[in-house]
Amino acid sequence: MITSLFLAKDKATNIIGLQWFDEDFYLLLIRLCVNIVFITILIRFLYYQKTKRKDYLFTYYLIGTITFFLCFGLKKLDIDTGMGLGLFAIFGIIRYRTDAIEIKEMTYLFLIIGLSVVNALASNQLSIAEMALINVFMVVLTYILEFLWLMKHETRKTINYERIDLITPDKAPEMKKDIETRTGLSINRFEIGKIDFLNDTAQVRIFYYAEEQEFSDYHVD
């Protein structure tokens, strides 16, 4: 009776010479769910909440998902050379032949790829709880760095300023107020660079916290 059941199962999972189902299917589903949950937290609730940039969401989700499936598939092949070439190709795509990726976006991309690789390649000796702990730790660390510890990021811009009559130490508060009125930014400090007395202009570098402004360098819709 037991033998017949195993034969029936073998026939059901092997049709026209192809294996349609095996014991790794449920493992794939569990790992995929863990991966999707944690990269969603990173992408939607940490990265997007902070930067408001939608242009990288598509890339992050698809790269994270395809990295997971690629690594999971290569692991089942159990070929060291193939695994090495596959991982080399994964990390090689970080260098696009298009515009350069900013360092912050590059970090999130590497983090998403790294978690996807861990979730896909974790051996049977690594429990689901341990794998979840790795993901939770990276998410919490990212949250602390992004929202708590490194909350304020000072941005700087260089502007051409024409009121050189204010470029004196005693008129610094008046100059600061004038720059804030013209730019609409609440600046922390400023530095005076090259002064052109012929055209009555000066290069002024202003410093401000982008997160505290109505518009920031990352606020792109």
pTM here is 0.60
Q: Is the pLDDT of residue 12 over 70?
A: no
Mean of pLDDT over the chain = 78
Helix (H, G, I), strand (E, B) or coil at 90: helix
Out of 48-52, 83-87, 107-111, 154-158, which region has the weakest mean confidence (pLDDT)?
83-87
Q: Is the pLDDT of residue 97 over 80?
A: no
**What is d(CA 185, CA 195) in angstroms, rounded to the nearest whole number?**
22
Out of 24-33, 62-71, 85-94, which region has the weakest mean confidence (pLDDT)?
85-94
Average pLDDT value for residue range 57-68 = 90
Q: Name the DSSP class of 15.
A: E
The model's pLDDT over 187-212, given as tens digits with 9 standing for 90+, comes to: 888 999 999 888 889 999 998 877 66
Q: Is the pLDDT of residue 104 over 50?
A: yes
